[in-house]
Amino acid sequence: MSEKTPVSALDVAEIDSFDHETDVLVVGFGCAGAAAALEAHAAGARTTVLERQSGGGGSAAMSGGEIYLGGGTPIQTACGFADTAEEMEKFLLSALGPDADAEKVGLYCRGSLEHYRWLTGLGVPFKPSLWDTPTWVPPTDDGLMWMGEFAHPHCDVAVPAPRGHRVTADGFGGRVLMSVLGDAVAASDVAVHTDTGATRLIVERHNTARHSTDRSSSDRGSADGPRVVGVVARHFGETVTYRARHGVVLTTGGFADNADMVAQHAPQLVGLPANSDGGDDGRGIVMAQAVGAAVRHMSAGQVGIALVPGMMVRGMIVNDQGQRFVNEDTYPGLVGQAALFHHGLKVWVILDQQAYEEVPEDQRWGVVPHFVAETADELEREIGMPDGALRTTIGEYNRHAARGEDPYFHKTARWLRPLNPPLAAIDVRRGITPPEHGDAGGGGAEVFTLGGLHTTGDGAVLDLDGGTVAGLYAAGRATSGLHSWGYISGTSLGDGTFFGRRAGRAAAGR
């Protein structure tokens, strides 16, 4: 699919006959696409999924496999935690904001128990055991994780409960999730067309002929805008056309792999490696924009910062001037956003020997300090920080930590302890190489985009007038989902599957 292929929609009048017909056409076979297809099919619609790669999975299959669920799931209950949809909602509005999509967050939290049952009903495994310390992915197969719910300021807003439900796996769980969803699709009569990349939407336009001499018509708008009735795709160099009688669901992912789109819409992510399957080229977003779809939050991004959370939480994270800027016990993804968006990723993890050694070797992911020194003065000189930068910051931190306090950023007492020489520093931009994850963190972080198509809670794509684009639905990272600026792991697989299901059902409705 060359960049040269235009994204502008094709008028259905230009099509002689379609190569394929279906009721609901799902474009993309990641977690959102699989969920959409299963639910469209369950609603009685003939359903076809197009996938550009030779098999399903998408970026979801490469993820850690956390799904943010709550409201009192059996896993939470088994681990001894009470939870309600209301507290979950308060937390997400706090952590995903400012200006998270309140309607979507409400739907998501109130529907969380049912969504848990749907996932487990398909066979998605979760183990009822808690992993209790900060990490990206537990080295065990524990099924429940904290996602910063106990951290300031969220703990003042919502009663904390762990809600990171991690698909049981030996390592990253995304592949297990996608294997279960893929099996469910295979067991249905959803048709899956792989190696088939959608390039353009096909629309039916009304009101293009001169049909009125009434002057007022010029003020009325095209009474009905374009209706999406299918897509043009490429399959091994051939053009193939699909008619979707009920609707097209775009689940094509974000645009982290499209350098031009990133530069235009999310300049702060420029130059960082994408956390994706390489196919997050934004094509679905632009195809929809070409028929008048609205987008939002295009500058937002998830930042998988290249550090070991267990080291950071036991020490501190500082910027170029030796200044702390966040409570180190908050969700590491929020640390990543603060580090990139406010400090250009010029950040260091500072710790002492005890902090380093308390992190079990299998959780260190090979990270060793880049600088070690007998005093803070020496450490700041070695790093090249201003004279006094680390000395004053560590002095202040230690003075308060000795009393179990952090009046600056409110890290909880559990992780507060004066840091004692010798001291060490880890340059976050040097990256880490976590197991099974290639060269993650080159440049200090891996990113993906959070902005995209503006959709309703049912996945209908909104147009520039705030109406809906007839026949067009979307879910997953092709859309702006629950988030605005903030991000908590588990809300991509969660948002993708939850709103993918809703989009599939809505598209199936006549």
**Least distance in angstroms from the C-beta of 480 to a copy of itself:** 8
Applying CB under 8 A, which part among 53-61, 138-146, 149-157, 231-239 lies near a copy of itself?
A: 231-239
Angstrom distance (rounded) from CA 85 to CA 107: 10
| Closest to a copy of itself by CB, 77 or 239 | 239
| Closest to a copy of itself by CB, 55 or 344 | 344
| DSSP 8-state code for residue 80 | T
- Residue 425's SS3 state is strand
Footprint (CB under 8 A) of a copy of itself, residues 331-370: 341-343
Site string for a copy of itself, 249-278 (x = CB under 8 A): --------------xxxxxx-x--------
Binding residue count for a copy of itself, defined by CB under 8 A: 76
| Closest to a copy of itself by CB, 77 or 217 | 217
Q: Which residue has the tokens 């990272």?
A: 477
Angstrom distance (rounded) from CA 251 to CA 301: 18
**Least distance in angstroms from the C-beta of 53 to a copy of itself:** 21
Angstrom distance (rounded) from CA 510 to CA 507: 8
Site string for a copy of itself, 61-90 (x = CB under 8 A): ------------------------------
**Least distance in angstroms from the C-beta of 296 to a copy of itself:** 4
Near a copy of itself by CB under 8 A: residue from 106, 139, 388, 418: 388
**Least distance in angstroms from the C-beta of 338 to a copy of itself:** 9
222 binds a copy of itself, rule: CB under 8 A: yes
Near a copy of itself by CB under 8 A: residue from 395, 422, 438, 509: 395
- Looking at the DSSP bridge assignments, the partners of residue 352 are 423
Closest to 331 (Cα-Cα) out of 146, 165, 128: 146
Radius of gyration of the chain (CA): 24
Q: Which two tokens stand for residue 320?
A: 């170029």
156 binds a copy of itself, rule: CB under 8 A: no
Footprint (CB under 8 A) of a copy of itself, residues 1-30: 5-8, 10-11, 13-16
Near a copy of itself by CB under 8 A: residue from 392, 412, 433, 456: 392
| Closest to a copy of itself by CB, 82 or 102 | 102
Footprint (CB under 8 A) of a copy of itself, residues 467-496: 484-485
Applying CB under 8 A, which part among 58-66, 249-257, 316-324, 353-361 lies near a copy of itself?
A: 316-324
**Least distance in angstroms from the C-beta of 239 to a copy of itself:** 5
**Least distance in angstroms from the C-beta of 310 to a copy of itself:** 25
Closest to 293 (Cα-Cα) out of 50, 2, 9, 4: 9
| Closest to a copy of itself by CB, 292 or 441 | 292
Near a copy of itself by CB under 8 A: residue from 278, 366, 386, 509: 386
220 binds a copy of itself, rule: CB under 8 A: yes
H/E segment holding residue 66: strand 66-68
DSSP readout, 303-317? EEESS-HHHHHHSEE
294 binds a copy of itself, rule: CB under 8 A: yes
Angstrom distance (rounded) from CA 3 to CA 189: 33
Near a copy of itself by CB under 8 A: residue from 54, 80, 189, 210: 210
H/E segment holding residue 196: strand 196-204
| Closest to a copy of itself by CB, 37 or 93 | 93
Q: Which residue has the tokens 């040097």?
A: 430
Contact 59, 280 (CB under 8 A): yes
Applying CB under 8 A, which part among 102-110, 307-315, 383-391, 430-438 lies near a copy of itself?
A: 383-391
Angstrom distance (rounded) from CA 510 to CA 407: 57
Strands 347-352 and 47-50: unpaired
H/E segment holding residue 240: strand 238-250
Near a copy of itself by CB under 8 A: residue from 193, 205, 227, 429: 205
Closest to 423 (Cα-Cα) out of 360, 494, 486, 351: 351
Angstrom distance (rounded) from CA 428 to CA 97: 25
Near a copy of itself by CB under 8 A: residue from 323, 375, 398, 456: 323
- Looking at the DSSP bridge assignments, the partners of residue 231 are 201, 242
Amino acid code (one letter) for 244: A
| Closest to a copy of itself by CB, 121 or 384 | 384
Sequence-ordered list of residues with C-beta below 8 angstroms from that of 435, at least 6 positions apart, any chain: 171, 365
